[in-house]
Amino acid sequence: MLKIYLNGKIVPEEEAKVSVFDHGLLYGDGVFEGIRSYNGRVFKLNEHLCRLFKSAKVIMLKVPLSISDLEEAILKTLRANKLHDAYIRVVVTRGKGDLGLDPLKCLSPTLFIIASKIELYPAELYEKGLSLATVPTRRNEVEALNPAIKSLNYLNNILAKIEARNSNALEGIFLNSQGYVTECTGDNIFIYTEKGNLLLTPPVYSGALEGITRNCVMKLAKEEGIGVEEKLLTRYDLFCSDEVFLTGSAAEIIHVYKIDGRVIGEGKRGRVTELLQKKFKELTQREGTQIYK
């Protein structure tokens, strides 16, 4: 039985309940983060919380705790569950309101933290890689619901996930309305080309989340002398690259061997993907906020 942090208290899972009038549930009005801890340390905690506060600011939602109090609440939740390697979900909703949309009628935001064991993709998948499909649903427009906001409204991503599964793929590639590649349903995407020794990823303004893992990988690649650029990419660029991989807190770094039936590079994990996986793993073991002091 998990122990959940809910509005200032640690409660058993069966007591962790929110109102059916919570606008997080009624309208997807809220923001969240998915964070990892490795070996008793929370990885990039401050970066995740800064992104949470930015998402909240954009939707004019006041997070009921300061960054440092929220950090402490997360560590407390991990300790209550005696976790070392965990997946942490932090959710802030608009709170309880009436059946209308008006967020001003929601007087007190709901904040909960779930810390649980991490369920990874099976190890074989990291050997074999992923086969991806481009999905018909386009990524939310930056001018409508900016994908840089990590909001509770994930229906765009869920539709894309359904379409990917309908095409027998575990992940789907989102294009924006101009036809440029943006990201996947829950991960950022990178391509590597031997020619020029270049690692490319779509810019956030094309319609992607500014992934914490994405930022780490870009930094690690630069440290390895690889050229890194944020660039508008088409499916052609993906098909003709030497390596493709996805990044995310849950998936970490996973290579892609096929996209829409086209084999990528030699159809196996590439040299640069393997190098970045190794460097990323070292970083996760070395860095982070200690849970048990």
> What are the catalytic residues?
150
Among 171, 187, 190, 192, binds ligand PMP (CB under 6 A): 187
Q: Which is nearer to ligand PMP, 19 or 126 (CB)?
A: 126
For residue 39, what are its two tokens?
């070996």
Closest approach, Cβ 33 to ligand PMP, in A, equals 8
Among 37, 55, 137, 188, binds ligand PMP (CB under 6 A): 188
Closest approach, Cβ 80 to ligand PMP, in A, equals 24
Which SS3 state, helix, strand or coil, does residue 225 take? Answer: coil
The amino acid at 215: N
H/E element, 172:
strand 171-175
Q: Is residue 34 within the footprint of ligand PMP (CB under 6 A)?
A: yes
Residue 68: exposure state from Cβ atoms within 10 A (0-12, 13-18, ≥19) = exposed
3-state SS, 34-59, equals: EEEEECCEECCHHHHHHHHHHHHHHC
For residue 109, what are its two tokens?
């935001």
Q: Which is nearer to ligand PMP, 50 or 80 (CB)?
A: 50
H/E element, 286:
helix 271-286
Q: Is residue 163 within the footprint of ligand PMP (CB under 6 A)?
A: no
Q: Which is nearer to ligand PMP, 51 or 94 (CB)?
A: 51
The amino acid at 43: F
Q: Is residue 156 within the footprint of ligand PMP (CB under 6 A)?
A: no
Q: Which is nearer to ligand PMP, 22 or 183 (CB)?
A: 183
Q: Is residue 186 within the footprint of ligand PMP (CB under 6 A)?
A: yes
Measured over the CA atoms of residue 130, residue 135, residue 137 and residue 142, the dihedral's sign is positive
Exposed e or buried b per residue across 174-211, where buried means at least 16 C-beta atoms within 10 angstroms of its C-beta: bbbeeebbbbbbbbbbbbbbeeeebbbbbebebbbbeb
Task: Show the binding pattern over residues 135-154: x = contacts ligand PMP (CB under 6 A), - = does not.
Answer: --------------------
DSSP assignment string, 60-106: T---SS-HHHHHHHHHHHHHHTT-SSEEEEEEEE--B--SS--GGG-
Binders of ligand PMP in range 45-64 (CB under 6 A): none
Considering only the stretches 8-16, 20-28, 204-212, 269-277, report the one whose residues sit in contact with ligand PMP under the rule CB under 6 A: 204-212
Binders of ligand PMP in range 209-248 (CB under 6 A): 209, 211-214, 247-248
Among 22, 29, 171, 183, binds ligand PMP (CB under 6 A): 183
Q: Which is nearer to ligand PMP, 106 or 169 (CB)?
A: 169
The binding site for ligand PMP (CB under 6 A) comprises 34, 157, 183, 186-188, 209, 211-214, 247-249
